[in-house]
Chains A and B, each alone.
Chain A
């Protein structure tokens, strides 16, 4: 018994998805047009290409806001943060499912609470804590270091929650079989769970990298010297002008969105159905 309308269904899917895709991509078209336009044309909403591309790029790299250095800083922070966060949070998310007890469930629920507080409320005490590290041996983690930007986002309830929800679909029988073979608990995690959860890791990596790359409030407060500034801070400084140079900014914005877009394009390939089946 095959589906009868599958052909029409597929066409419907194409039409629907194409419309959604166009709506989604339209602003990117606007941004790319913006790279070639003058500020005035951008504000006026012009959708035709202009001839200012070279000049806009020149302005972007010649002003003293340090766009290139900020790209490097952001990349550094995002990569390290993503690796650490994925490892530590997936460890916890997996642990909460596999070693599920009443106590661990309570611990998990308490952790959930941590993502419910608006960050603005935590910022000043957090800043105080990091600034207290100045002039101590722990200064390397204190304010104005990359570590101070990364540390608060290494373990997040959000990621732990996500890993936990996904681990729920992970067949416990695989774990038990591995135990029979005498595998250690940690090895089961790294050898059985991790390889079979590429889809989860891919999604988590995209989200973490993106959040880190776009993180604004905390880096703004904690990074003091301008040679440490990240991309969002530099873009913000560019935009705060009586007469912002939007052409130049669009060049900066397009460049700064590329890493996440490229990362997404490569990682989304992990979203292939039946991954679990192949492990079985």
Chain B
């Protein structure tokens, strides 16, 4: 008897609790999602990086418009991608943010899949104010949809002490070719025993850096035609990549953390990567004064320059979430125009701006003891101006996943032309339905 009552009681309580939990939630939802509501919601990833930059922007915007409330929700990038896709695909804008951070490699895909979802920001984003390749990333059909944020400008981070032991001075590292880099790598390994760099065999970032330095990509410039089989730049890049992966100068790792650990333990001499890596490297405080940054190497031939990019993101405004004017005004007065904000952000998170006018700011002209008193911000932003524009298209990650096995086959000795031809067919099939 008792048990029956107990059970009934438990069931009633559970149902009751469910209902109250829901109704509480329900009422809150309707108020916070009111599209005419003033509060702007921002989605971005990385608490210590993008969120911090956004907080700086909110603080500086307060002076212009004290009434506007802006709320940040920090999520993992994958989570943002998934929530955006689910929301936009189901045609229900409820709960989506006003402003969202999207990676440069992904934005073309969004603009293609959801053509009406994003607000045209052409009138607040002045083309000449930013590094041109950053503007190109968020442009489709002549309309500029994105406010460029952090520059993924690439640099060759290197350990001055290790390279000196291998017989290379700072001057020797400036504006080199990848062939020279391979040569240096051999000397570093044989003279100091240290690996030149780490490389994750599943991460083709290095090839992306090489391609963009010559204005080439997995796509032709229309962003639609897959460009693998007859891509001379890619072939030249693969030649370098294969050499690096097979001559014993590169430590193979798996995953981001392993690469970070190798750098922080002092197990590698260089890291050719994006400017955003700076804060990670500076985590190794005991290596202060031992690092410098040189321009990223170029490919010999192919009109390749000593400037490229990897990663980086921009801010976008979702039309369906209401208060578009408020969101635009916010971005216009912060990320789209304010060099002082870029100065603050440089100090707080070490991000290199895409806004050219940031160059004159004090933090950009400062010398950094960690980097042997190099004016790193000044240098990186200067190189950013030279990065060639490419059209990332809508399937960069998908093509890259198709390309991973062919690339490792090439490293193992497969014929480059036929392997790439095969990969081209696969990639074309993969992106056909986008």
Binding site for B on A (CB under 8 A): 39-40, 43-44, 63-65, 76, 80, 83-84, 87, 123-124, 127-128, 131, 134-135, 139-148, 150, 187, 190-191, 194-195, 217, 220-221, 224-226, 228, 233, 236-243, 245
Contact with A144, one of B11, B74, B95 (Cβ below 8 angstroms):
B95
Q: Any chain A CB within 8 A of the CB of B21?
A: yes
Interface of B, helix, strand, loop or mixed by DSSP: helix
Contact with A225, one of B3, B32, B75, B78 (Cβ below 8 angstroms):
B32
A111→B292 CA distance, assembly (Å): 63
Determine the residue in chain B with the shortest Cβ distance to A83: B14
> Which residues from chain B contact A237 at a C-beta distance below 8 Å?
45, 47, 74-76, 79
Q: Are B3 and A191 in contact (CB under 8 A)?
A: yes
Residues A131 and B94 in contact in the complex (CB < 8 Å), given A140-B25, A225-B28 = yes
- Please report which residues of chain B, range 168-221, place their CB below 8 angstroms from some CB of chain A when the two chains form the complex: none
Determine the residue in chain A with the shortest Cβ distance to B279: A243
A217→B283 CA distance, assembly (Å): 32
Q: Are A80 and B29 in contact (CB under 8 A)?
A: no
Q: Are A40 and B264 in contact (CB under 8 A)?
A: yes
> Which residues from chain B contact A39 at a C-beta distance below 8 Å?
283
Q: Are A147 and B18 in contact (CB under 8 A)?
A: yes
Q: Are A242 and B276 in contact (CB under 8 A)?
A: yes
Determine the residue in chain B with the shortest Cβ distance to A129: B90
A163 to chain B, nearest CB (A): 16
> Which residues from chain B contact A190 at a C-beta distance below 8 Å?
3-4, 7
Interface size range on B against A: 35 or more
- Please report which residues of chain B, range 39-91, place their CB below 8 angstroms from some CB of chain A when the two chains form the complex: 45-49, 73-79, 82-83, 86-87, 89-91
A49 to chain B, nearest CB (A): 19
| Cβ-Cβ contact count across A and B, 8 Å cutoff | 150
Q: Any chain A CB within 8 A of the CB of B398?
A: no
A40→B77 CA distance, assembly (Å): 22
A5 to chain B, nearest CB (A): 44
> Which residues from chain A contact B90 at a C-beta distance below 8 Å?
124, 127-128, 131
Q: Mark B134-159, 1 if CB is under 8 A from A, else 0.
A: 00000000000000000000000000
> Which residues from chain A contact B277 at a C-beta distance below 8 Å?
242
| Residue with the highest number of chain A CB atoms closer than 10 Å, among B18, B82, B95 | B18
B346 to chain A, nearest CB (A): 15
Q: Are A142 and B26 in contact (CB under 8 A)?
A: yes
Contact with B83, one of A142, A194, A220 (Cβ below 8 angstroms):
A220
> Which residues from chain B contact A141 at a C-beta distance below 8 Å?
22
Q: Are A139 and B26 in contact (CB under 8 A)?
A: yes
Q: Are B77 and A145 in contact (CB under 8 A)?
A: no
Determine the residue in chain B with the shortest Cβ distance to A40: B264
Q: Are A224 and B94 in contact (CB under 8 A)?
A: yes
A128→B94 CA distance, assembly (Å): 11
A-B contacts besides A80-B18, A146-B21, 16 pairs, CB < 8 Å: A43-B257, A43-B264, A84-B18, A87-B7, A87-B10, A123-B86, A128-B90, A140-B26, A148-B22, A190-B4, A220-B79, A225-B28, A226-B73, A242-B49, A242-B277, A243-B280
Q: Any chain A CB within 8 A of the CB of B261?
A: yes
Contact with A127, one of B7, B10, B46, B86 (Cβ below 8 angstroms):
B86
* 12 A-B interface contacts by CB (under 8 A): A44-B264, A124-B89, A146-B25, A147-B18, A191-B4, A195-B3, A221-B86, A226-B73, A233-B75, A237-B75, A241-B48, A243-B260
| Top 10 A-B residue pairs of the complex, sorted by shortest distance between their CB atoms | A224-B95, A240-B76, A147-B22, A145-B25, A140-B22, A131-B92, A140-B26, A146-B21, A128-B90, A145-B22
